[in-house]
Amino acid sequence: MNDLPFGFSSSDDSNDRDKGKGKDNGAGGDGAQGGPGPGNPFGFAMGDGGAIDPSQLGQLFSQLGNMFSGMGSGMASGGSGPVNYEVAANLARQQIGAFTPMLEKEHRAVADAVRLAEVWLDEQTTMPAGITTTAAWTPVDWLENSMPTWRQLCDPIAEQMAKTMDTGLPEEAKAFAGPMMAMIGQLSGTMYGTQLGQGLGQLAGDVLTSTDIGLPLAPDRTGVLLPQAIAKFAEGLDLPAQEIVVFLAAREAAHIRLFSHVPWLKQRLLATVEEYARGIRIDLGGLQDMATGIDPQELLTNPGKIEELMGSAASFEPETTPAQQAALSRLETLLALIEGWVELVVSNALGDRIPSTAALTETMRRRRASGGPAEQTFATLIGMDLRPRKLREAAALWRSLTDASDLTVRDGVWGHPDLLPDADDLDNPAGFIDRVIGGDVSGIDDAIAELERQFTDRDENDGDKKDGDKKDGDKKDGDTGDDDA
């Protein structure tokens, strides 16, 4: 779209040319002619049939050098821990390529949009404003500021994967595949960092706000919009640009209200991911086949084989256990409850003020359904498919609870994790609402009946004990009398 409000500007031809230059330098590309891209991420120059002739051998090593130099010093240092985040950050920056630095007018624009949204949100929730600082971020700003949260998300999964790969093979298999296992062990952190870096590079150009994946990635109480991504998002919509910006600012502000005033929420999300990670089990049969099927000569003559090996080592196919499935269900439900609450609050706050609110709300739903940033993130990290059906059901539950009670009761449900609805409640919202507003007292009656039974049993036991003590006392008195006689 043209003429975006609040100082937002869409990409122009010069930016496109800059991006094109970045791609030529290895920052990205479609890989159609041997350049880097989804099908050929390391940019190997392939000959006919995927092989190279001796004259191309120097080019092969040159390309390998470029690949590892693109990973930067992080590859040389090796990093520490289960994931090499230096490699991840360097590859993500390379994939981001050229971007437009933020000007002061963009920062003022974000502050203006958030300030307006906060005033309207005050009428639709009892949670006070959570934003104290605002900012406009470039994709690189998003990458750098979000990295601490990625560490919390990725470390438990990568640690469990490494542990499984180390202990999962029988001893004879370890001895047989020893050299290959040693190499994979040394490179596992780099390979996971490579996979993460590619994913973050893609996400950095797509996320619209700091909470777009369902987790707050900015510093505490900081509201963030990403103008470059918003401009791209707006170009596909025939809607007023100003309304789009304020709508997204309201979503960001609503998310941060929730996370600021429900202190256990973010940690509960991260803990659920960690709970899932603890149960990861990997079928290493394919790894054994890979270890025994490597021809060193092929690695020199077929650069695609190196790419294939790195991709195979970086990817995994975990076996989902019942405990993991339960953790995934809880995570999916919690994310849906967050998104549903935000959707309801924003729709109610903006519906009478911004005509395109309903259309934008449906656009965000379709974005989720087609695989938005949240879906990409959790699918890449833990293989979870966040179903849009749950989002609609969560929004409907919050709306029904609001209609049946008031804002205080609805927002009070976030007071403790045990008060939140679960997946069954999303399927039967009427039962949950009855419990919350006191219409269903069967649970209380049962609890009172149980207490009464316990008191009755205790009284009876005390009575029996007193009767026994009295009989013992009579017996002792009788015994004393016989002795005296």
Q: What is the mean pLDDT of the chain?
A: 75
3-state SS, residue 405 = coil
Q: What is the pLDDT of residues 329-376, one digit of tens each?
A: 898 899 999 999 999 999 999 999 999 999 999 999 988 888 878 777
0.85 cut: is pTM over it?
no
- The structure tokens 């998002």 sit at 233
Report residue 378's pLDDT band, with 50, 70 and 90 as the boundaries. confident
Q: What is the pLDDT of residues 233-272, one digit of tens each?
A: 999 899 999 999 999 999 999 999 999 999 999 999 989 8
Q: What is the mean pLDDT of residues 154-171?
A: 72
236 Cβ contact partners less than 8 Å away, ≥ 6 residues apart: none
Report residue 157's pLDDT band, with 50, 70 and 90 as the boundaries. confident
Q: How far apart are CA 204 and CA 386, in angstroms?
A: 20
Residue 56 has pLDDT above 50, yes or no: no
Contact 436, 409 (CB under 8 A): yes
Residue 134's H or E segment, with its range, is strand 133-136
Please, which contacts does 346-353 make with residues 24 or more away whose CB atoms are closer than 8 Å?
346/121, 346/247, 346/250, 346/251, 346/254, 348/124, 349/117, 349/120, 349/121, 349/123, 349/124, 349/250, 350/117, 350/120, 350/246, 350/247, 350/250, 353/120
